[in-house]
Amino acid sequence: MSEAYSVKLEQFEGPLDLLLHLIKKHEVDLYQLSVSEITDQYLAYMTEAEDLNLDLAGEFLVMAATLIYLKSRALLPADEREDLEDEEPLDPEAQLIEQLLEHERFQKAGQALAERHVLGRDIFERSVIETQPGNFIEPTRPMAVQDLLGALERLLARRAKNLAHQVSIERLSLRDGIESVVEQLRARQRCRFEDLFPESASRVRIIVTFLAILELVKSGAVTATQTETHAEIDILLLREVNPDDVLAIEDVEEMQA
């Protein structure tokens, strides 16, 4: 493994720590930040992480989705970027830079404190699908968080233009996302990954839905399958599930950490 990927994800206290590490490593001025380059590096670190703690993954995935959006936004034709800048009341890139500057100030002030260590590591395990006699299910390959993250990146890239012109703010909870995913799976039992994200879905809804899928897979209520590399990802409902049960599992794990 190259030196560039020698640091595990868990060693960073949050996504801003990881971003600052990447920026400092390449001696990049914050105001000269290349969103496209930093996004690729950020996703590479997540892919190379040997153990991805799902309790922490939410923060990192939200930042990854934000970076993917900014990168997609930067790739739009100049006239469409200008239209977007006129429509968006706040520049998300400027907000990110300000967050990084503020975080760096706090980081410098706390250099004397002992390093914090993250307790507990979770891995994504493939669930066993119970089938009735006579039912045939295609052989599937194991799925990991990184596979789903890659699918999310491709989804956001395809919808970059539509997302760029959305200015409404939608407030959704993880419970909302879980209920939506479960409702769709109850109706069909098996859905394509992309079908769980309506064409009209906002960036917030896409991120919340993605985190809901992660939690449901982690709980064993659903599984993510793929017949071969680069094939479409299917999400299958394995058992009846109550959103309260999924959220309760998360609460118990937080108390045990």
| CATH number of the domain that residue 227 is part of | 1.10.10
Closest CA to 149 of 200, 103, 217, 221: 217
| Domain match, 29 and 115 both | yes
Q: Are residues 98 and 183 in the same domain?
A: no
SS (H, E, C) 96-124: HHHHHHHHHHHHHHCCCCCCCCCCCCCCC
Token pair for 152:
């999310």
Q: Are residues 75 and 187 in the same domain?
A: no
Domain range spanning residue 114? Answer: 1-123
Answer yes or no: do 18 and 99 share one domain: yes
Same domain, 119 and 14: yes
Q: Under a CB-based contact definition with an 8 Å cutoff, are residues 143 and 129 in contact?
A: no
- Low-confidence stretches of the chain (pLDDT < 70) are 1-39, 42, 45-143, 161-170, 248-257
**123, 153, 171 - which closes a domain:** 123
What pLDDT is attached to residue 231? 79
For residues 186 and 137, state if they share a domain: yes
The C-alpha atoms of residue 163 and residue 165 are separated, in whole angstroms, by 5
Residues 141 and 205 in one domain: yes
CA distances from 44 to 50, 185, 188, 223 (A): 12, 31, 34, 24
pTM above 0.75, yes or no: no
Contact 153, 43 (CB under 8 A): yes
Q: Are residues 98 and 3 in the same domain?
A: yes
Residue pair 47/134 in contact by the 8 Å Cβ criterion: no
Please count the structural domains in the chain. Answer: 2
Examine the fold and report which residue of 103, 123, 143 is the final residue of a domain before the chain moves on: 123
* Residue where a domain terminates, one of 123, 138, 169: 123
114 and 43 both lie in a single domain: yes
Q: Are residues 48 and 69 in the same domain?
A: yes
Residues 138 and 99 in one domain: no
Say yes or no: 74 and 136 in one domain. Answer: no
